[in-house]
Amino acid sequence: MLSPLAVPIATIFGSEFLGTMILIILGVGVVANNLLPKTKGHDNAPGSLQINWGWGLGVMFGVYGAYKTGGHLNPAVTIGLWVAGKDLAPGIPATAGNIATYIVAQMCGAFVGAVIAWLAYKQHYDEDCDPADKLGTFATGPAIRSPFWNTLTEIIGTWILVIWVIISGYTTGTAIGPFGVALLIVAIGASLGGPTGYAINPARDLGPRIAHAVLPIKGKGGSDWGYAWVPIVGPLIGGVLAGLTYIIFW
């Protein structure tokens, strides 16, 4: 068995930072390509299914980028594994320090990834556009605003993601892991993404939302901080429930 010290803190941070950054560059990018004016995707936008696939493949390549740490990319996954009594990855026990390092790296990677995606689409963000669409490239929002039901939707979607991660072994033991989670993200988006845009990941929503708030985006409007707690609290509850489900049934 590997020593708990086999993976240094700096490696943990770098791995999760890189993987989450890749996820957000591709995820924010695919939404920007659909929603922003004068993009190649906007003129021929196939709609939500392209966005689902963009996020799914973004997760897959992000997982490969963070292979040294199991490719969590998501505080809900990290918390869910801890609740389930699992190591975070081979050689990385679920200590408070390691959990904190994962989550900080994920948040930082998400913020930087959003900034990079903004740079790629800078000229299109400068075009006249509904401020809600500009925010929608960065962060999620509800189709019908109802905090309880929006939170419940995020709990359900995240529960499905995290319980699959726990019982599948994620990236360990099989090379199909990253592709499997990509397909699962597409399925969650297609099936449960309608009410809230399926954040299912606090870092995925909060990091880019902060980027939206601080970047000099022309005509951007507000960052909807009144809703921002939903894609944080809902996924964290979903992750905890997934860990408890594993304890009860497995």
Condensed to tens digits (0 to 9), the pLDDT of residues 137-188 reads 999 999 999 999 999 999 999 999 999 999 987 445 455 678 999 999 999 9
List the domain range (segments joined by +) for residue 54. 9-249
Token duo for residue 1: 């068995």
Q: List the one residue out of 241, 146, 227, 235 whose CA is nearest residue 199.
A: 235
User: Per the domain annotation, does 74 fall within a domain?
Assistant: yes
CA dist., res. 94 & res. 4, Å (int): 10
User: Per the domain annotation, does 189 fall within a domain?
Assistant: yes
Please give the torsion angle defined by the CA atoms of residues 72, 156, 107 and 148, in that order, rounded to the nearest 10 degrees.
-170
Phi/psi for 92 (5° steps) reads -130, 90
% of the chain at pLDDT higher than 90:
88
Contacting residues for 146 by C-beta, under 8 A, at least 6 apart = none
* Position 47 confidence tier, pLDDT thresholds 50, 70, 90: confident
User: Per the domain annotation, does 4 fall within a domain?
Assistant: no
User: Per the domain annotation, does 183 fall within a domain?
Assistant: yes
Q: What confidence score (pLDDT) does residue 250 get?
A: 83
Domain tally for the chain?
1
pLDDT in tens, 4-46: 456 899 999 999 999 999 999 999 999 999 999 999 887 766 6
Sign of CA dihedral 78, 82, 84, 89: positive
User: Per the domain annotation, does 3 fall within a domain?
Assistant: no
Q: If residue 96 lies in a helix (H) or strand (E), which one and from where to where?
A: helix 96-120
Q: What is the mean pLDDT of residues 181-202?
A: 96
Q: What confidence score (pLDDT) does residue 48 get?
A: 82
User: Per the domain annotation, does 1 fall within a domain?
Assistant: no
User: Per the domain annotation, does 61 fall within a domain?
Assistant: yes
The domain that holds 92 is classified in CATH as 1.20.1080.10
pLDDT in tens, 48-90: 889 999 999 999 999 999 999 999 999 999 999 999 999 999 9
